Structure formats: C-alpha cells, structure tokens
Amino acid sequence: MDYKEMLKPDLVFLNVDEKDRKGLYKNIASKLLKLGYVKESYEEALNKREDEFPTGVVSEHISIALPHANPENINKPFVCVVTTKTPIEILQMGYNTKENADTFFFLGIQHSNDQLTLLQKFMALIQNKDFVDDFQSISDESEMYQYIQNEFIK
Amino acid sequence: MAKIIVACGSGVASSELVVNHISDFFEDHGITGVDVEATDFKKLPDILANYDIYVWIARPNEEIQSIVDKNNITSVNGLPIFTGQNPEVSYKEIIAGLKSLSA
C-alpha cells in the first residue's frame, strides 16, 4: 500500500467541536464506521490503546496526537486528519505527561510497513515550521487534503 | 555481540522506526557488531533479559524495570530518536552503554 493513498478526501475534519478526548474519539469513530473504514470494535480499541500507550507528540512548533487501534479493528487503511476548535488534553507518548493538542492524525494501519513510512513522514512534518504554519492557516477541508497530499509527495 | 532491544506499545511500528534510525546511526559512525531488534510491550518481559541495552518508547512499567535492574541492562529513552528532536541525547546513552559492555 502506497501511504499517499491512505489520505482520503472524505477523511479531513477541521474545527471539530469536542471538549475532551473521549468525545472526540467517539465523534471520529462514528464517522469512520459510517464510511466503512473501521469495525464496530474500533472506538473501544482506540480508547484502550490511548489509555495504555498514549500517542501525543510535541514538537517545537505543534502538539499532535496519532491515535490508532490494532489492525484487526480496521477494514481498510486510512489517515484521517482532524483539528479541533479548542485544544484537547491528551498524554504524551512514553512520558505520559499532559499536553494540549488541537491536531489529530488518526492512523488506520493494516501493515506495519505502512505505519513506518507514515510515522517517519509525520515526525518530519511537525518539525518543519513552514508546514505547521501552512497547516494551521488552512480552514477548508478540500484545500487541506490537497495540501497534505502534496507534502506527502515531496 | 552486543544486543539492543527497542520496545514500543502494541501493534505499532514505532519501535521499528527507532531500530532503523539506530541502525543508520551505527552505519554512519562505523559502529559494527551490534544487533538491534524491535519488539512490543507484550513480548518484552520474556525476552528482555537476553539484551544488553533496552531502548524504550513506551515508559517501562514496574515489571520491566525490575528485569532491567536485576540484569543490569542499560535503559535508554528512545523518544528523542522517535521524534527526531535531540536524538543525540539517546545516541550518547547508547554509546555509553556499549562502552561499558566492552570495558
């Protein structure tokens, strides 16, 4: 699977109005379920994974999270791009310290090779100030899809 | 041969990403004879004692920590390597761990 194909025009949700992590994950999980990307078990698996092994990552320029569930809860691979209206408290990967994130890349992974390239790409992007500035200035969902698609090809 | 294990949470490839980075670092610096492997948190308790250096991405729990202490394993925070922010901090600790093995 080419990881660029994991980005989907119907999986960009900007300025989502949720107050906490559970609310956000419920919201996104129901969208993903409706669109056929995940199984019924996804939401619970997503929360369990986040409780056990938090996915927040902080760079100099932005705080993000990379929520994901194990492959058996996924129907087809995807990357779902989400920003929230207000920052949401999550925990930082490994350190389990609190961070406030308003950017979430939900990763639907079926093979670890896809994950590897994706992770590498995201880690590089969030440390790139130009990317973060552009990302944060885009409010239109189809424009955001195009923008990230281009950044992935670079 | 020195052995390094990198462990992340479940089902993800973040440990493999870090293994790739460490292997590249060794290659760039002409360090040979070091075995670097990835695993997940579930398998870790059973195999950890066979390794010299443990690079963590998910914070070690009590069980893991007691294995580390008992077997005198060098424990290194691998998150800087994962995120690419100040990875040299982790690399320095890994090198120090390797040096203490050969000493």
* Chain A residues with beta carbon closer than 8 angstroms to that of B75: none
Mean pLDDT score across all residues of chain B: 91
Average pLDDT for residues B42-63, to the nearest whole number? 93
Q: Higher-confidence residue: B35 or A5?
A: B35
**Is the pLDDT reported for residue A154 higher than 90?**
no
**Is the pLDDT reported for residue A62 higher than 90?**
yes
Pairing of strands A63-65, A78-91: unpaired
CA-to-CA distance for B16 and A118, rounded, in angstroms? 12
For position B11, what pLDDT does the model report?
45
Nearest-Cα distance to chain B for A11, in Å, is 21
ipTM of the complex: 0.75
CB of A92 closer than 8 Å to CB of A56: yes
Phi, psi (rounded to 5 degrees) for B60: -65, 135
Residues of A with CB under 8 A from a CB of B: 49, 52-53, 57, 59-60, 68, 70-71, 93-96, 109, 112-113, 115-116, 119-120, 123-124, 127
> CATH code at B78?
3.40.50.2300
For position B83, what pLDDT does the model report?
86
The domain tally of chain B equals: 1
Mean pLDDT score across all residues of chain A: 92
Q: How confident is the model at residue A94 (pLDDT cuts 50, 70, 90)?
A: confident
Q: Which residues contact B38 (CB under 8 A, 6 or more apart)?
A: B5, B6, B7, B8, B15, B16, B18, B19
Q: Which of B6, B10, B14, B15 to mutate to test the interface with A (most CBs of A within 10 A)?
A: B14
For position A120, what pLDDT does the model report?
83
- Domains of chain A in start order, with CATH, are 3-153 (3.40.930.10)
CB of A109 closer than 8 Å to CB of A45: no
CA-to-CA distance for B69 and B44, rounded, in angstroms? 15
User: C-alpha A15: how far from its chain's center?
Assistant: 14
**Is the pLDDT reported for residue A74 higher than 80?**
yes
Q: How confident is the model at residue B16 (pLDDT cuts 50, 70, 90)?
A: confident
Do the chains contact at A119 and B14, CB–CB below 8 Å? Answer: yes
Model pTM score = 0.88
Residue-number span of the structural domain to which B59 is assigned: 2-102
**Is the pLDDT reported for residue B24 higher than 70?**
yes
Q: How confident is the model at residue B10 (pLDDT cuts 50, 70, 90)?
A: low
Q: Higher-confidence residue: A57 or A4?
A: A57
